[in-house]
Amino acid sequence: MLFRQLFDRETSTYTYLLADEASGAALLIDPVLDQVDRDLGLLEDLGLSLTYILETHVHADHVTGAAILRDRTGARTVVSATAGADCADVAVRDGDVIRLGASGIEVRQTPGHTAGCVTYVTQDQKFAFTGDALMIRGCGRTDFQEGDAHTLYASVHEKIFTLPDACAVYPGHDYKGRTQSTVGEEKRLNPRLGGDKTVEEFAVIMDGLGLAPPKHLAVSLPANRNCGRILPESTAP
C-alpha cells in the first residue's frame, strides 16, 4: 500500500494519503482546504484515483478540503455516523471496513475529544490514524464539542492501546515536528494516558488545561459540519 504523510504548516495538521497501487484507488484522511491543490497534484503525479475522503472527526481548527475534493474528483466523503455531519456520503460506525483495492481500513469509534471521533486502522494493524483522540505524548482537548475525559480515556485504552505495540500511530496534529509514534510508545510514555495513569488522574489533567478556544473555531465548526462548505452565516447549519 502506498502511503504519504502531508503537513499543513499553518494549522500543524497532518493529512494522509493511502493507495492501492495495483488498482490506483486512493483515499485521503483529514485533507485541509488550503492544501487541496497540492493534494490533487500529488494524486495526479502518482496516477491515483481518489475514491474516499475520510474525516477522523469534525475539526475545530481548520476547514476540511472534503467538499472541494469531492466536487473535483467524485470521491465519496466518509464521516462517523455520530459526528453530526449529515452531508457525508458514507456515515461509518465501529467495525465498518472501508475497502481500498485489495486492502481495507477498519473504523474504530474513539469518542471523547468529540462525540464523532474515529480512528482508522489498516487491516494489517500496522497503521492507526488516530486524529485527535491520541496524539504523540498527548491527546485532543475534551472541553467542547461534546468532549468528555472519561469517554476519551476509555476510547484510547479499549480501541487504540489494544492494537499491537508496533502499530504506528499517525495523529491529526503535532506541534513539535514529530511525525509518528507507536502504540507501544504511547502506552509507555504518554504523560496523560499512558503508564499507570488512572481515568481519574486523566480527568484532573484535562480539567486543568485551561486552553483558549481554537483560533478558527467560529468558521471551522459550521463549515466542517457541512463537509467543508463555507456558507453565508444565515444559512450555516
The letter for the amino acid at 61 is D
Q: Quick one: CA dihedral 23, 34, 122, 81, positive or negative? A: negative
* 27 closest CA partner among 77, 80, 71: 77
Judged by CB under 8 A, the stretch of 34-42, 50-58, 59-67, 153-161 that binds a copy of itself is: 34-42
Smallest distance from a copy of itself to CB 111, Å: 28
Judged by CB under 8 A, the stretch of 120-128, 138-146, 173-181, 210-218 that binds a copy of itself is: 173-181
Binding mask 175-204 for a copy of itself (x = CB under 8 A): -xxxxx----x---x---------------
Report yes or no: 42 and 198 within 8 Å, Cβ to Cβ.
no
CB-nearer residue toward a copy of itself: 143 or 185 = 185
Binding mask 95-134 for a copy of itself (x = CB under 8 A): ----------------------------------------
Q: Can you tell me which residue has the cell 478556544?
A: 213
Smallest distance from a copy of itself to CB 187, Å: 12
Query: What backbone torsions phi and psi does residue 55 show, to the nearest 5 degrees?
Result: -110, 135
Residue 4 in contact with a copy of itself, rule: CB under 8 A: yes
Q: Of residues 1, 23, 24, 46, which one binds a copy of itself by CB under 8 A?
A: 46
Q: Of residues 1, 23, 24, 42, which one binds a copy of itself by CB under 8 A?
A: 42
Smallest distance from a copy of itself to CB 38, Å: 6
Report yes or no: 128 and 160 within 8 Å, Cβ to Cβ.
yes
* 145 closest CA partner among 42, 198, 233, 220: 220
Looking at residue 100, the DSSP 8-state letter turns out to be E
> In Å, what is the CA distance from 182 to each residue of 44, 110, 127, 143, 203?
31, 17, 9, 26, 23
